[in-house]
Amino acid sequence: MKKGLIERLKDIGISQDTMMLHPDVAGWREVYSKMGVKPSKYRSSLEALLRRTFKGDIWSVSNVVDCYDCVSAVNLLPMGAHDTAKLKGDLVLRYGREGEKFYPLGAGDSVIDVSPKNILYADDEKVCCWLWNHRDTRDASLSESTKKALFLVDQAFDTEWKTVQEGLKLLSSELENIGCKTINSGIVNAGSPSSEIF
């Protein structure tokens, strides 16, 4: 899937020059502005992924991470994943709390102070992903020893290209193509704010 990614993006009208014109990409900038951060500095995972792809910075993290990154790009939906063995209690999407700290993946000993305006994913003990889908924590990331993962597909506004349901379906199919098994899936929203996954 990674090999033909740029061509697949061009087939749906996404290029380095046009990606910010697409509402499914640009909409996240508005979301980030509402969180009180500069969206040109702090990008959604989707925008960051598309920019890296078009710059030729095609990643190679692991089969699983590469898979969900490709599915994220072709569906124009931000996606992420956490190792369930590293999660404590429920994973929730909420606003940050005064005094909370975030420990970003791939940033050594860096620590980020969380603002109450920031939307984030957190379990009972830690911030797992800061600025909704901008940056994952080093403390719940996937590794070669991961046995079970929880995948997240984000949607903060009505999308034009693909829905979360379509993204989940392709993600499940592509993960099975590389030898993974989907155990369960669910969708949470304002009308159905929780889902029992395991």
The answer to whether position 93 is within a domain reads yes
The answer to whether position 117 is within a domain reads yes
pLDDT higher than threshold 80 for residue 59: no
128-153, pLDDT tens digit by residue?
Answer: 999 999 999 999 999 999 999 999 99
The answer to whether position 190 is within a domain reads no
pTM of the model: 0.94
CA-based R_g, the chain, Å: 16
The answer to whether position 188 is within a domain reads no
Tell me the C-alpha to C-alpha distance, in Å, between residue 163 and each of 50, 53, 157, 159.
18, 22, 10, 6
Residue that has been written with the tokens 């951060």 in this structure? 37
The answer to whether position 191 is within a domain reads no
Question: Residue 56 sits in which domain range?
Answer: 5-177
113, 142 Cβ separation under 8 angstroms: no
The CATH number for 61's domain is 3.50.40
User: Alpha-carbon distance 138 to 187, whole Å?
Assistant: 25
80-101, pLDDT tens digit by residue?
Answer: 999 999 999 999 999 999 999 9
Total domains present in the chain = 1
The answer to whether position 196 is within a domain reads no
The answer to whether position 197 is within a domain reads no
